[in-house]
Amino acid sequence: MNILGIGGFSHDSAAALVCDGRVVAAVDEERLTRIKHQGGVPRRAVACCLEVAGLALDDVDHVGCYMRPFLRMSRRIPYRIKQAVRSPGYSLAYIAYEFLHNARYVSGMRGLRGANARLHFMEHHPAHAASAFLVSPFDEAALLTVDYIGEWAVTWTGIGRGTDIRPLRTTNYPDSLGVFYSAITDYLGFRRATDEYKVMGLASYGEPEYYDDFARIVRLRKDGRYDLDRSWFQCHYAPGSRVGYFSRKFLDRFGPPRKRDEPVEERHRNIAASAQRILEEVVLGIAHALHRETGLDRLSMAGGVALNCAMNGRLLRESPFEAIYVQPAAGDDGIAVGAALQLHHQLTESPRGDVMRDACLGPEYPSAEIRRVLELAKIPYEQPEDVVERTAALIAEGNIVGWFQGRMEFGPRALGARSILADPTRADMKDLINKHVKHREEFRPFAPSVLAERAHEFFDGSNGMRPGALDSPFMLFVYPVRPEKRAAVPAITHVDGTARVQTVSKDVAPRYHALIEAFARRTGVPMVLNTSFNDNNEPIVNTPIEAIRCFYSTGMDALVMGDYVVTKR
């Protein structure tokens, strides 16, 4: 049985293909259209998944989509009618938009399905939960999903057993932690729905000076329920993207919002730190209650907020859960996988498929194709006897190296298939990459890819229940760098002494693992600095040509694609 999953439509569209319960391919649409956070019908991603599997559209039996349009309208429209007293113009415009949006969504999905497929609209949050739980190593787990908004739900808890997913509690709009964090993102002069990770990075530079105030805005109760005090907001009845998300009361208390080109000051850093802290405390509160309620020791999480790896790190250390699984595409794109798998298990009696330990589910370009592109562009290249040793030497010599290998990653993180690599032991490397390659803000940290078996030497993964265990293959957890090691790896140690770790296992990524091993033999340090293979504000590269373009338009020193090495000097 071949099932297509569709994730995202408003933004971050993606497709996944599940054949007989196995995830065969999953691709973000942005990587193919080259428009970051691309929304709409993911036509190219669907075609790409089918091509990877060698199937045609007519071979697809079912299509699972990421949201239920009628559930969405049945909740959103009555709410907007109620709000019309306060903001008649906007409410009317919103209702019109809602009809149009859903019509576009339904017809878009219909146009996508092929001749033989049945179309299924899946509920958003359970499909989020499925995207993590059904590929997790857990037979049984507590489930938590947190995002901006689904149809109407914003936070959702449940229980997963085998292939079964049961809801426990749903929190609805407007009490959304995603809305709160996006409102802060907008207030601090970044783009909401895309730049939340900048707030997280900035938070480490500030003090949570406003935490007590924010605890009155996002109010957590002892039983794990929470709500937002709406008097601080206006986005639930006014167009936040135009007039700002917070109300006059907020602006009077915390000052004017930062404009995009204004400098980031101490007040902004402290607001970021306070927002990050309240998010962490509230989600910790939810996790404690969920643990009490379910009695389960494992947690699987999804939703855009589950991409907040500083929050995830605190959950790992401080929540009562022994193990936590987050899927690499925790946002709406990942629902492509969740919707398809959930559908598969609803339609068949078959047991669970593979655990997702590898995000490399996209297209691959064979050696001959890479060579053809290099020759076509008349680029001098070498084919060293041992490409891994050659690359390790280049990195150890201080070069910034583009690393293009195998199948492209699914989800927002580069995990060693489309990565830019550098030496983490050099204090100046962070600034060099920011200046010459990534052209991005200085407060954003770079992450390490570390040999899984040696991660404990540098990072503290303990939480009392798991002494030293460290398993973070998707770079979605922040760990403290051991104090005595911080000076040894300055380029990946964030200002607060933490790092967003990717653990690399030999059986999952043999070539990447061998590269880091070779680097460790030269330097004694079992990790490399890993940042995504793209310039700031463009999607991660997919094809060899895109890699070459990015290589020559930035200050990278070397490019390693498959078995071929290109150097500038």
Residues classed as catalytic: 11
Point out the residue whose Cβ comes nearest to Fe ion: 147
Cβ-contact 404, 541 below 8 angstroms = yes
Stretch that binds Fe ion, among 151-159, 328-336, 379-387, 474-482 (CB under 5 A): 328-336
Q: Does 460 bind Fe ion (CB under 5 A)?
A: no
Stretch that binds Fe ion, among 135-143, 332-340, 480-488, 508-516 (CB under 5 A): 332-340
Structure tokens at 115: 């001749």
Work out how close the CB of 60 gets to Fe ion at its nearest, in angstroms, rounded to a whole number: 24
Stretch that binds Fe ion, among 89-97, 260-268, 324-332, 398-406 (CB under 5 A): 324-332
Q: Does 28 bind Fe ion (CB under 5 A)?
A: no
Work out how close the CB of 203 gets to Fe ion at its nearest, in angstroms, rounded to a whole number: 22
d(CA 343, CA 338): 8
Work out how close the CB of 178 gets to Fe ion at its nearest, in angstroms, rounded to a whole number: 8
The smaller minimum CB distance to Fe ion, of residues 155 and 554, is found at: 155
The smaller minimum CB distance to Fe ion, of residues 10 and 567, is found at: 10
d(CA 308, CA 306): 5
Crossing angle, helix 177-187 and helix 266-294, to 10 degrees? 170
Structure tokens at 404: 């293009």
The smaller minimum CB distance to Fe ion, of residues 7 and 526, is found at: 7
Q: Does 546 bind Fe ion (CB under 5 A)?
A: no
Stretch that binds Fe ion, among 179-187, 329-337, 339-347, 424-432 (CB under 5 A): 329-337
Q: Does 147 bind Fe ion (CB under 5 A)?
A: yes
Q: What is the Cβ-side half-sphere exposure of residue 141, based on CA atoms within 13 angstroms? A: 26
Going across the sheet that includes 558-561, the strands are 477-480, 498-504, 447-451, 527-532, 418-422, 401-404, 558-561, 564-567
Structure tokens at 334: 């990942």
Structure tokens at 558: 């070397």
* Helix ranges (DSSP H) in 188-233: 196-203, 211-217
Q: Does 123 bind Fe ion (CB under 5 A)?
A: no
The smaller minimum CB distance to Fe ion, of residues 131 and 534, is found at: 131
Work out how close the CB of 303 gets to Fe ion at its nearest, in angstroms, rounded to a whole number: 5
Stretch that binds Fe ion, among 147-155, 229-237, 453-461, 492-500 (CB under 5 A): 147-155
CA distances from 171 to 147, 168, 286, 320 (A): 11, 10, 11, 22
Work out how close the CB of 22 gets to Fe ion at its nearest, in angstroms, rounded to a whole number: 24
Q: Which amino acid is at 419?
A: S
Site residue total, Fe ion (CB under 5 A): 2
The smaller minimum CB distance to Fe ion, of residues 29 and 147, is found at: 147
Work out how close the CB of 160 gets to Fe ion at its nearest, in angstroms, rounded to a whole number: 18
d(CA 523, CA 490): 14
The smaller minimum CB distance to Fe ion, of residues 130 and 264, is found at: 130
The smaller minimum CB distance to Fe ion, of residues 147 and 196, is found at: 147
Q: What is the DSSP string of 259-325?
A: PTTSPP-HHHHHHHHHHHHHHHHHHHHHHHHHHHHH--SEEEEESGGGG-HHHHHHHHHHSS-SEEE
- Among 29, 123, 332, 546, interactor with Fe ion by CB under 5 A: 332
Work out how close the CB of 280 gets to Fe ion at its nearest, in angstroms, rounded to a whole number: 20
Cα angle: 136, vertex 410, 381; to 5 degrees: 130
Using the structure block, give the residue that is written with the tokens 């987050």: 326
DSSP 24: E
The three state secondary structure string of 423-458 is CCCCCCHHHHHHHHHHCCCCCCCCEEEEEHHHHHHH
The smaller minimum CB distance to Fe ion, of residues 28 and 332, is found at: 332
Stretch that binds Fe ion, among 139-147, 199-207, 424-432, 487-495 (CB under 5 A): 139-147
Work out how close the CB of 146 gets to Fe ion at its nearest, in angstroms, rounded to a whole number: 9
Rule CB under 5 A: which residues touch Fe ion?
A: 147, 332
